[in-house]
Each structure stands twice: as C-alpha cells, then as structure tokens.
C-alpha cells in the first residue's frame, strides 16, 4: 500500500500530525513548571503534586522548570527556557499546579496559551479543571475563550492608542525625533560641498558632525 504524506507550504507537518507521530513513537514529553514568589517559600508542594500526577498517569518527566520570582514578571529564567523549548517543539505537555503559577497577567497568560496551541503543546493544571489536550474538548474550549479575550483586549488597546494619537495630533503635538535647526555654519559647509570642495557625503557628515543620512537631508534642504 502506498502512503502519501503532504507537508505545508513551509515544509513542515501540521501540529496535530507531528504530535500523532510523537505519540505513535512513544516519545511524548511532559515538563512541569513550578513558581514561588519569594525565597521564603518552597516549591516542594508543587513538585510533589505534579510528580504524583505524572506517576498516576504513567508519564515520565523529561525536564523541570522552576522560578523564584513574582508572577507579574514577564521575563523569568525558568519560564524563558520553557518557552524556548515550546518554540522548538520539544514539549507535548506542560504541567503546573495552578494557572497563576505561569503568570498573573491575563494578556501574558493568553499569549502563552496561544503559543502552546500554535506549537501543539497541551497545558494541564492539576489543581484546576484546565486540560487543553485534544482528548478534553471542554479544556480546549476554555483555551479558545482565553485566546479570543486576549485578541479582544489587544484590539481595545490598539483602538485606545490610535484615539490618543488623533487627539494629540489635533492639539498640535508633533511625533518623532525633533528636527535640528539648520545653522549658518551648516549652510556654509553644504555650500562648500556643492562647490566640490567636499567630495563625498561621508566627508560632509564628518564636517557637519552628523550621520550620513542626515548629511544627505541637509544637502538637499540647505
């Protein structure tokens, strides 16, 4: 029997197909994430709960990630390593005790869940009814609601930003880098350039003490 497998235009298989291949080869990887806010707290209760969950499921743990930092921080050493592995498609399932262990900012959480879904990674929160694996339709529904709410919030932020820019422009506010005034000395240097005493724009920029692009602009305007 001849079997034909098609790739996408980018040359990669679909997320679902890649995950099925890994499952068929029994290479599914599970990685827990723990986080505590201060050094006075211990991540052991989270670790024990997730290890017990994996043992009951018969899962082996490929690696663990842990942070001791506030959940409001977007950049964390352990989380950054976790997301790098997600983008390299090295993970099938991420486990954490509760969703707030990943983060306390809703837009950040929604963005992470969107990346998980895009890279074929399921998220399981053992102390909450959150399981975004394909075997759990209710969990995937929660995931899509979170993603939709994040996109809606981004649209609101964009709309508010554009409205603020329109109001500022109506008040006469100018955006961008302030324009430096052209002095008499600049005009004399540019005149010397036009007369051939300064040969290149690089030499002109050096004489004007500015960038080459600025020298081009001054040569046209002055």
pLDDT tier, 128 (very low <50, low <70, confident <90, very high otherwise): confident
**Span 117-130, average pLDDT:** 88
**pTM of the predicted model over 0.85:** no
Residue 37 bears catalytic tag: yes
Which SS3 state, helix, strand or coil, does residue 30 take? strand
Using the predicted structure, report yes or no on whether residue 49 has a pLDDT greater than 90: yes
Q: Give the rounded percent of residues in the chain with a pLDDT score beyond 70.
A: 84
CA separation (Å) from 20 to 58, 68, 92? 18, 35, 10
Using the predicted structure, report yes or no on whether residue 115 has a pLDDT greater than 80: yes
For the ranges 10-24, 77-91, 109-123, 179-193, the lowest mean pLDDT is seen at 10-24
pLDDT tier, 87 (very low <50, low <70, confident <90, very high otherwise): very high
pLDDT one-digit tens code per residue, 154-204: 788 888 888 988 888 888 887 777 666 677 888 888 888 888 888 888 888
Quote the tokens at residue 200: 């290149």
Catalytic residue among 8, 10, 14, 37: 37
Q: What is the pLDDT of residue 47?
A: 92
Q: What is the pLDDT of residue 143?
A: 73
Tell which residue, 122, 129, 73, has the closest CA to residue 102: 73
Q: What is the pLDDT of residue 24?
A: 42
Cα–Cα distance measured from residue 114 to residue 149, given in angstroms and rounded to the nearest whole number:
11
Q: What is the pLDDT of residue 178?
A: 67
The burial class, CB within 10 Å (0-12 / 13-18 / 19+), for 107 is middle
């Amino acid at each position: 029997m001849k079997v034909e497998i098609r790739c996408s235009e980018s040359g990669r298989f679909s997320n679902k197909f890649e995950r099925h291949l890994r499952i068929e080869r029994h290479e599914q990887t599970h990685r827990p994430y723990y986080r505590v806010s201060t050094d006075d707290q211990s991540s052991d209760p989270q670790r024990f709960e997730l290890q017990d969950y994996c043992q009951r499921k018969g899962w082996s743990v490929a690696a663990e990630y842990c942070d001791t930092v506030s959940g409001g921080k977007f950049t964390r050493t352990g989380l950054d390593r976790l997301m790098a592995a997600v983008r390299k498609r090295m993970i099938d399932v991420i486990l954490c005790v509760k969703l707030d262990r990943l983060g306390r900012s809703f837009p950040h959480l929604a963005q992470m869940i969107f990346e998980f879904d895009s890279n074929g990674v399921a998220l399981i929160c053992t102390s909450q009814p959150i399981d975004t694996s394909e075997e759990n339709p209710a969990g995937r529904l929660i995931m899509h609601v979170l993603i939709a709410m994040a996109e809606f919030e981004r649209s609101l932020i964009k709309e508010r930003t554009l409205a603020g820019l329109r109001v500022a422009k109506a008040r006469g506010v100018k955006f961008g880098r302030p324009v430096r005034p052209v002095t008499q000395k600049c005009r004399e240097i540019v005149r010397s350039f036009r007369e051939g005493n300064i040969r290149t724009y690089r030499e002109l920029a050096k004489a004007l003490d500015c960038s080459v692009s600025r020298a081009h602009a001054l040569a046209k305007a002055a």
